[in-house]
Amino acid sequence: MNLLDLVIFLPAVAFLLLLLIPAASSRQAALALSIVIFLASLGLIGPVTANPAAYSFENNIPWIETPNIRYHTGIDGLSLWLIILSTLLTPLCVLISWNYISHRVKEFYAFLLLLEFGVVGVFAALDLFLFYVFWEVTLVPMYFLIGIWGHDRRIYATVKFFLYTMAGSVLMLAAILYLYTQGGTFDYTVLTKLLQEGRINLSHNAEIYLFLAFFIAFAIKVPLWPLHTWLPDAHVEAPTAGSVMLASVMLKMGCYGIVRFCLPMFPGAARELAPWIAGFALVGISVGALVAMVQPNMKKLVAYSSVSHLGFVVLGTFAFNQQGLDGAVYQMLNHGVSTGALFMLVGFLYERQHSLEIKAYGGVATVAPKLAVIFMITTLASIGLPLLNNFVGEFLVLQGAAIANFRWAVFAALGVIFSACYMLWMYQRTFLGKTPHDVEHHVTDINTRELVAVAPLVILMVWMGTAAGGFLNPISAANAKILEQSKARVEMRAANAR
């Protein structure tokens, strides 16, 4: 039992505790427990950053004898910050739900903690079967968060979300089972080694199929265009905390899966299909941004902007160079921070005016100046202004894309123009101009609880934009290893072919 195990299982314990204690104190308990988990997770930073390319806090014990499934966990520079992001956002989500959630309060917070359990497990699992279990665990609480506490069309949205993700993960399960038949293990580190050394010798087609089985499961989660249409529905119907966790953490499970599993295990297929995947990413970047531009609904706008932003993540990943991959992983975190904050802020507006339509607002800056300033900073972060977080990630992704294929950078950079259009237009229509009567009546400035919830994210926007090195260097070290692994395998295969 090491610190990582503690961080993984505390949320599960918290989930059970929350079910046992009375509903009246569940939000206080959820807040306290999630803060404890967050503080515990901070202890992971030191050892991992000291040696970011290797797995720290590794634990490898048998779970089920036959088939040979192991509880194998460990984290490196790639997974570290994603776990910290998850443990940070959980208490913030408790805070933003404080008054928003008024019925079945106990279950709500219990599911939130269950979600944290699944998500942290996904980022820590090094056994493919264990990974799959955690992957599925995350589905259940999100299904209920949307289905019970969502808006009018919540059932349609949550069923769509569930089935779509299931469809992908069934493919992944088949691929995992197939790998088991070949290697006799579910252990990711062992399988990767066997694949690299050619002891599992996949045929060209087999590698492509296996890659696609994993990739499609992950691409649905990212979501990569055109597998994205579940996302706007899920976001619009979800309660604020659900949207935040979905955008900030759950989508990253897909991005993470691609980098962690697809690249090292099936490097040949990944490189072979890279031009196609980059093509889809580029379409997603531009189409997502252009569709965001004409959305009348704020949450849909932010949802489509996510499709655009995550296109950058996929593009950077498949540039197959250090800059692209570093940018992609950094962009995962950035999107978690700034889009998480955007969903929070939109949620604050919704709690006041009870509408997600942009046209229900106007002149909010006059009645809620602090909210307006924070929204402005978040907007600027989202559109990639220098000295804020997204700029660093976008720059690295675009630079990496330019090295791989300059045309990719040209098309992707168009998305940067469009992002300014949709965000500034939304800001103008919501916050600027004269204040209509009903807005003046309903919209008040941000309160202390809300400020405490969003402030950490604003601080991170500036911190990650200016002192990028502290976050980026461990990521870079882990990525260098992944690139090295995937390159070695491709070179070996080429040598064998000769």
Partner 1 sequence: MHSLHSSQSLWLIPVLPLLGFLINGLLGKRLGKGAVSLVAVGTVAASFAWVLKCISALMPLEHSHIETYGTWIASGALNIPVELAIDRLTAVMLLVVTGIGSLIHIYATGYMSHEEGYERFFAYLNLFMFFMLTLVLANNYLLLFVGWEGVGLCSYLLIGFYYLKLSATNAGNKAFIVNRIGDFGFSLAMFLIFVHFGSLSFPAVFEKAKALSPESGFGWLTAICLLLLVGATGKSAQVPLYVWLPDAMEGPTPVSALIHAATMVTAGVYMVARSAALFVNAPIAMEVVAYVGLITAVLAATIGITQFDIKKVFAYSTVSQLGYMFLALGCGAFSAGIFHVVTHAFFKALLFLGAGSVIHALEGEQDIRHMGGLRSKIPVTFLTLACAWVAIAGVPPFSGFHSKDEILLAAHHHHPWMYWVGVITAGMTAFYVSRCMFMTFFGEYRGHHHPHESPWVMTGPLAVLAVLSLAGGYTHIPQFLEPVFPLKGGEHDSTLVAISVAAGLAGIALAWFLYVLSPETPKSIASALGGLYRAVYNKYYVDEVYYGTIVHPLVDGSKSILWKGLDAGIVDGAVNGAGTLARMIGGITRRFQTGNIRSYAAWVVLGSLLVLAAMTAMGGSSL
287 binds partner 1 (CB under 8 A): yes
Select 7 or 285, whichever has its Cβ closest to partner 1: 285
Q: Which of 47, 184, 433, 456 binds partner 1 (CB under 8 A)?
A: 433
Q: How far is the CB of 166 from partner 1 (least distance, A)?
A: 12
Q: How far is the CB of 457 from partner 1 (least distance, A)?
A: 18
Per CB under 8 A, the segment of 58-66, 111-119, 171-179, 442-450 that binds partner 1 is: 171-179
Select 109 or 186, whichever has its Cβ closest to partner 1: 186
Site track for partner 1 across 296-325, x = CB under 8 A: -------------------------xxx--
45 binds partner 1 (CB under 8 A): no
178 binds partner 1 (CB under 8 A): yes
Give the integer Cα–Cα distance in Å for 291 and 305.
Answer: 8
Give the integer Cα–Cα distance in Å for 351 and 372.
Answer: 16
Are 217 and 257 in contact, with CB atoms under 8 Å apart? yes
62 binds partner 1 (CB under 8 A): no
166 binds partner 1 (CB under 8 A): no
Q: Which of 22, 65, 66, 203 binds partner 1 (CB under 8 A)?
A: 203
480 binds partner 1 (CB under 8 A): yes
16-21, Cβ contacts within 8 angstroms, sequence gap of 24 or more = 18/106, 18/109, 18/110, 18/113, 19/106, 19/107, 19/110, 21/106
Largest CA distance in the chain: 76
Are 225 and 283 in contact, with CB atoms under 8 Å apart? yes
Are 202 and 195 in contact, with CB atoms under 8 Å apart? yes
Q: Can you read off the two tokens belonging to residue 322?
A: 């250090």
For residue 480, count other CB atoms closer than 10 A to its CB: 16
Nearest to 253 by CA among 294, 297, 223, 298: 223
Select 75 or 412, whichever has its Cβ closest to partner 1: 412
235 binds partner 1 (CB under 8 A): no
- Applying the rule CB under 8 A, the residues between 329 and 388 that interact with partner 1 are 363, 365-366, 380, 385-387
Q: Which of 4, 75, 125, 202 binds partner 1 (CB under 8 A)?
A: 202
DSSP-based three-state secondary structure for 58: strand
Give the integer Cα–Cα distance in Å for 496 and 498.
Answer: 5
Q: How far is the CB of 437 from partner 1 (least distance, A)?
A: 15
Are 311 and 282 in contact, with CB atoms under 8 Å apart? yes
Q: Can you read off the two tokens belonging to residue 82?
A: 């994603």
DSSP-based three-state secondary structure for 32: helix
Are 223 and 310 in contact, with CB atoms under 8 Å apart? yes
Select 28 or 229, whichever has its Cβ closest to partner 1: 229
DSSP-based three-state secondary structure for 117: helix
Interface size with partner 1, residues (CB under 8 A): 69
Q: Which of 66, 102, 181, 496 binds partner 1 (CB under 8 A)?
A: 181
Give the integer Cα–Cα distance in Å for 173 and 144.
Answer: 23
- Applying the rule CB under 8 A, the residues between 408 and 427 that interact with partner 1 are 409-410, 413-414, 416-417, 420-421, 424-425
Select 355 or 473, whichever has its Cβ closest to partner 1: 473
**CA 477-483-486 angle, 5° bins:** 145
Q: Under the rule (CB under 8 A), what is the footprint of partner 1?
A: 160, 163-164, 174-175, 177-178, 181, 201-206, 209-210, 226, 228-230, 287, 290-291, 293-295, 321-323, 326-327, 363, 365-366, 380, 385-387, 391-392, 395-396, 398-399, 402-403, 406, 409-410, 413-414, 416-417, 420-421, 424-425, 428, 431-434, 466, 468-469, 472-473, 476, 480
